């Protein structure tokens, strides 16, 4: 079985968040299970991608409204990734340092998708399945099933995985001419709320829709940033498959990004050395519990509450708090300002730092995830793998993966998103921490939980097989 994943992110070549982690790891596990797995993503202007040995395998020109763009498909010549990667090089649109947040993102994403399909048209060996990730590739299921020039691809099953339904990539009908010719009677497939909505389009046109946890699938029927009616209507073809993590990269015994490697036998001493580095770096007292947050500073993650959570907590509890993240400029500046108020007890690194994130998983005492929406969440899975106790709101994938200590579990959970409830959870966490015997016993147990892709990759394979059989 030959599966092509189309995505804007793929770790380690381009990662903004969890999408990159998933597309950089699921294909590796699918390959190990016998699937021929390929990923196609943009050729960005970043040092990781620029230095890759590549071979040009296809060149063409694509048309976007009244503009046309030359593009090349590059095949990466490297076995290091564990699966085959192809890169779409469109100099004017994709060869940029960042993945997202340009004024012409619509043009960039549509052009990427057209380039992918033009290349597949030309390929001798077609994929058996095209697996699309998020709205950036959400037009592919429509293009394959509706557009005249892609008629010969119509029998290739398409899958959409929703990593985050908050972002849908809407654009106006003024840009309808970006879409190659199709039967205008079917224009409704592109529509949601009088816009072209690539995520809605994919939900309508893909053969199957998956979300990254079962609970998120259920929650989307009630709240999906405007798409709940559509998701309820399409629920027969939807399924929630829990994300896994890459156990080779996220392995405290071998992780090259942490100061001290450790396994379950020396977890306490190993983690202490990493904590000591963190405390030195950020001016904390190593004897106090360290609560950390890692992530995009956006509303869905509850990041707007973080400044008040820090103030409330540090007024009442003698602990340290460290925040690593970037996003909403107002949240960033409020978090930075707090440093003066709580010197040596609170600190923040505003920005993206992969190595620091690994050090935090390996050295902090609690990981805070006060998410409003959490389709799966990988941070809590990394945290379990490294022996770090998660404090989470019971939502989406957090609900599926973290069990409260009060229910014989290993994490601290609460149901609402407000400062007081998060503070109460932190307080409960600190009481748990003070019982060092129980706390260390739990740490040793959580590192053994298997959240690798082994289980979920098999579920994807079953899904692919069912689609091939239904043809």
Ligand X SMILES: Nc1ncnc2c1ncn2[C@@H]1O[C@H](COP(=O)(O)OP(=O)(O)O[C@H]2O[C@H](CO)[C@@H](O)[C@H](O)[C@H]2O)[C@@H](O)[C@H]1O
Going by the annotation, the residues of the binding site for ADP-alpha-D-glucose are: 15
Nearer to ligand X, 180 or 396 (CB): 396
Nearer to ligand X, 313 or 371 (CB): 371
Q: How far is the CB of 265 from ligand X (least distance, A)?
A: 26
Nearer to ligand X, 295 or 429 (CB): 295
Which residue, judged by CB position, is nearest to ligand X in the bound state? Answer: 17
Nearer to ligand X, 74 or 208 (CB): 208
Nearer to ligand X, 239 or 268 (CB): 239
Residue ranges of the annotated binding site are 15
Which residue(s) pair with 245 in the sheet?
A: 452
Question: How far apart (Å, rounded) are the C-alpha atoms in residues 461 and 1?
Answer: 9
Q: How far is the CB of 147 from ligand X (least distance, A)?
A: 28
Give the distance, in angstroms, between the CA of residue 259 and the centroid of all CA atoms in the same chain. Answer: 26
Q: How far is the CB of 234 from ligand X (least distance, A)?
A: 20
- Alpha-carbon dihedral 457, 460, 462, 467, rounded to 10 degrees: -160
Question: How far apart (Å, rounded) are the C-alpha atoms in residues 197 and 206?
Answer: 14
Nearer to ligand X, 90 or 162 (CB): 162
Question: How far apart (Å, rounded) are the C-alpha atoms in residues 111 and 255?
Answer: 37
Region of 377 please: left (phi>0), alpha (psi -120 to 50) or beta. Answer: left
Nearer to ligand X, 3 or 153 (CB): 3
Which residue(s) pair with 131 in the sheet?
A: 5, 159
3-state secondary structure of 79: coil
246 and 28 Cβ atoms separated by less than 8 Å: yes
Helix (H) or strand (E) holding 325: strand 320-327
Q: How far is the CB of 460 from ligand X (least distance, A)?
A: 13
Q: What angle do CA 397, 398, 399 make, to 5 degrees?
A: 90
For binding to ligand X (CB under 6 A), which residues are involved?
Answer: 17-19, 21-22, 163-164, 212, 243, 294-296, 324-326, 352-354, 357, 374-379, 397
| Eight-class DSSP state of 11 | T
Residue with tokens 């007024």: 315
Q: How far is the CB of 123 from ligand X (least distance, A)?
A: 28
Question: How far apart (Å, rounded) are the C-alpha atoms in residues 243 and 453?
Answer: 7
Q: How far is the CB of 162 from ligand X (least distance, A)?
A: 9
Nearer to ligand X, 37 or 379 (CB): 379
Helix axes 267-282, 436-446, angle to 10 degrees: 100
Helix (H) or strand (E) holding 393: strand 389-393
Q: What angle do CA 8, 164, 238 make, to 5 degrees?
A: 105
Cis before 254 (ω within 30): no
The token pair at 3 is 């599966």
Q: How far is the CB of 182 from ligand X (least distance, A)?
A: 30
Q: How far is the CB of 31 from ligand X (least distance, A)?
A: 19
């Amino acid at each position: 079985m030959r599966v092509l994943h189309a995505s804007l992110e793929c770790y380690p070549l381009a990662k903004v968040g969890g999408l990159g982690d998933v597309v950089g790891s699921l294909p590796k596990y699918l390959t190990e299970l016998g699937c021929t797995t390929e990923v196609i993503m943009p050729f960005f202007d970043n040092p990781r991608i620029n230095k890759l040995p590549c071979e040009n395998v296809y060149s063409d020109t694509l048309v976007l409204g009244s503009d046309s763009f030359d593009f090349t498909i590059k095949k990466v010549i490297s076995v290091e990734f564990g699966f085959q990667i192809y890169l779409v090089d469109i100099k004017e649109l994709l060869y940029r340092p960042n993945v997202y947040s340009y004024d012409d993102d619509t043009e960039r994403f549509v052009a990427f998708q057209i380039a992918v399909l033009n290349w597949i048209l030309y390929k001798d060996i077609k994929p058996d399945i095209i697996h699309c990730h998020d709205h950036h590739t959400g037009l592919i299921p429509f293009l394959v099933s509706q557009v005249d020039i892609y008629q010969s691809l119509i029998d290739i099953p398409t899958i959409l995985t929703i990593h985050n339904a908050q972002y849908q990539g809407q654009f106006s009908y003024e840009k309808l001419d970006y879409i190659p010719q199709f039967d205008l009677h079917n224009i409704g497939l592109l529509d949601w709320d009088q816009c072209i909505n690539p995520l809605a389009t994919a939900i309508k046109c893909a053969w199957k829709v998956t979300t990254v946890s079962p609970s998120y699938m259920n929650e989307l029927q009630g709240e999906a940033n405007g798409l709940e009616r559509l998701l309820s209507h399409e629920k027969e073809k939807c399924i929630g498959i829990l994300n896994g993590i890459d156990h080779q990269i996220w392995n405290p015994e071998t992780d090259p990004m942490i100061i001290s490697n450790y396994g379950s036998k020396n977890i306490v001493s190993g983690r202490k050395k990493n904590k000591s580095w963190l405390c030195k770096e950020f001016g904390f007292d190593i004897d106090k519990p360290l609560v950390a947050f890692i992530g995009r500073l956006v509303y869905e993650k509850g990041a707007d509450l973080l400044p008040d959570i820090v103030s409330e907590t540090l007024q009442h509890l003698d602990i340290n708090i460290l925040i690593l993240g970037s996003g909403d400029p107002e949240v960033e500046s409020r978090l930075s300002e707090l440093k003066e108020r709580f010197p040596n007890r609170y600190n923040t690194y505003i920005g993206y730092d992969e190595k620091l994130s690994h050090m935090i998983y390996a050295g902090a005492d609690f990981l805070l995830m006060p998410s409003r929406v959490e389709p799966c969440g990988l941070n809590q899975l990394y945290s379990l793998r490294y022996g770090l106790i998660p404090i989470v709101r019971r939502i989406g994938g957090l609900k599926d993966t973290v069990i409260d200590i009060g229910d014989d579990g290993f994490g601290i959970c609460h149901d609402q998103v407000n400062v007081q409830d998060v503070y109460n959870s932190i307080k409960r966490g600190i009481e748990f921490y003070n019982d060092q015997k129980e706390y260390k016993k739990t740490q040793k147990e959580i590192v053994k939980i298997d959240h690798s892709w082994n289980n979920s990759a098999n579920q994807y394979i079953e899904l692919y097989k069912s689609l091939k059989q239904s043809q």
